[in-house]
Amino acid sequence: MQIGSVKINGYAALAPMAGVADRAFRLMCVEFGAAYVVGEMVSSKGIVYGDRKSEELLILDDNERPAAVQLFGDDPDTMARAAELAMKYNPDVIDINMGCPVPKVAGNNCGSALMRDPALCRRIVAAVVSAVDVPVTAKIRKGYSARSVNAVEVALACEDGGASAITVHGRTREQMYSPPADWDIIRQVKQAVKIPVIGNGDVNSAENAAKMYRQTGCDLVMVGRGALGAPWIFAQINAYLEKGELLPDPPVEKRMEILLRQVELAVGFKGERRALLEARKHAAWAVRGLPGASRLRAKAGKISTFDQLKALCREVCEISSQK
Ligand SMILES: Cc1cc2nc3c(=O)[nH]c(=O)nc-3n(C[C@H](O)[C@H](O)[C@H](O)COP(=O)(O)O)c2cc1C
């Protein structure tokens, strides 16, 4: 599978997840075999106005390649300028967000709201393509609402604008994240376009990844929430698709080691205070399904130093060894 000239080696990509899939988490996923990662969405206006926080989100590590930065916005010129500026961070791919459902984004005509205007989607892709010399892709949804399911039309518009691949999340904007994703829309897009299609929505196990490949004919699957607290899912998907081997989840001690390593990396990138606030969510995901999970989750919600996280991880290991 290739996105333009960028070779993707492996079977599953990590989905962009704002506030969650930061550099540290992406690096863990790549260590476990994620074939491709997409950074958290960044405002094109923020980049063009020189907003420091937006710029920070563009940073990609040399060890997380190939990687995309994802931009959102609704003005072709601003998107093109932001893409040009983002090239300072050497992304392998520029991805355009056409799927975000949150009011702050979609309410400003960006993200999933773009899908209401396929001609605008085409113009944005074309403007970004002419501004940069790396492949440009778009991530879309099934449609904006049940009454406007138009993923095929939008994918064709993006292809026409020069997109090198398209990611399809099989839910409408209205559906946000909860009903089961419609994989048939991914199959329909795959049949309609010539560029590679990345399938997304509800891939949360190796067997499920194989099923998405079979049912949709997609070129790559993209995992979002299935990787939270479980970055090893990429190793499981690769082993299953390469050798038919079903790898078990790592033992609890190993899981806690992985969490600590991820948060340690995050501390290095953004400082202890911010990293540990964000680590609360990651710790809660990491204890999912373990003995005493709900009490441990409540504890995870209160940590604010790395030492407290280490103590929590020790407690998790102790509880699990007693069961
Ligand atoms: C916390 C969170 C943040 C997200 N942020 C982004 C984002 O920045 N850009 C984007 O295109 N999609 C974003 N998404 C959507 C995911 O990339 C993905 O399309 C969605 O979660 C469906 O895949 P899944 O069922 O594997 O989770 C986000 C999803 C979650 C849960």
User: DSSP string covering 182-210, please?
Assistant: -HHHHHHHHHH-SS-EEEES---SHHHHH
Is 100 an active-site residue? yes
Residue 174 is predicted with a pLDDT of 93
Q: Please provide the DSSP assignment of 251-307 as one string.
A: PHHHHHHHHHHHHHHHHHHH-HHHHHHHHHHHHHHHTTTSTTHHHHHHHHTT--SHH
Report CA(224)–ligand 1 centroid distance (Å).
6
pLDDT tens digit at each of 323 positions of the chain: 999 999 999 999 999 999 999 999 999 999 999 999 999 999 999 999 999 999 999 999 999 999 999 999 999 999 999 999 999 999 999 999 999 999 999 999 999 999 999 999 999 999 999 999 999 999 999 999 999 999 999 999 999 999 999 999 999 999 999 999 999 999 999 999 999 999 999 999 999 999 999 999 999 999 999 999 999 999 999 999 999 999 999 999 999 999 999 999 999 999 999 999 999 999 999 999 998 899 999 999 999 999 999 999 999 999 988 86
With CA atoms as reference, report the closest residue to 225 among 34, 22, 16, 78. 16
263 and 234 belong to one structural domain = no
d(CA 314, CA 206) in angstroms, rounded, equals: 29
239 and 283 belong to one structural domain = no
How far is the CA of 128 from the CAs of 43, 101, 132, 169, in angstroms? Answer: 14, 22, 6, 22
Q: State the catalytic residue, choosing from 29, 100, 121, 313.
A: 100
* Number of domains the chain is built from: 2
Domain of 286, in residue numbers: 252-322
Residue 120 is predicted with a pLDDT of 98
Report CA(116)–ligand 1 centroid distance (Å).
20
Residue 322 is predicted with a pLDDT of 85
Report CA(182)–ligand 1 centroid distance (Å).
15
98 and 123 belong to one structural domain = yes
Residue 94 is predicted with a pLDDT of 98
pTM score, two decimals? 0.98
Query: What is the 8-class DSSP label of residue 221?
Result: E
212 and 275 belong to one structural domain = no
89 and 217 belong to one structural domain = yes
The pLDDT tens digits for 262-277 are 999 999 999 999 999 9
d(CA 121, CA 168) in angstroms, rounded, equals: 14
220 and 258 belong to one structural domain = no
b/e sequence 228-259, b meaning 16+ C-beta within 10 Å = bbbbbbbbbbbbbbeeeeeeeeeebeebbebb
* Residues in the ligand 1 pocket, defined by CB under 6 Å: 15-20, 40-41, 70, 97, 99-100, 139, 169, 177, 200-203, 223-226
41 and 183 belong to one structural domain = yes
With CA atoms as reference, report the closest residue to 289 among 312, 269, 316. 316
Residue 87 is predicted with a pLDDT of 98
Residue 272 is predicted with a pLDDT of 97
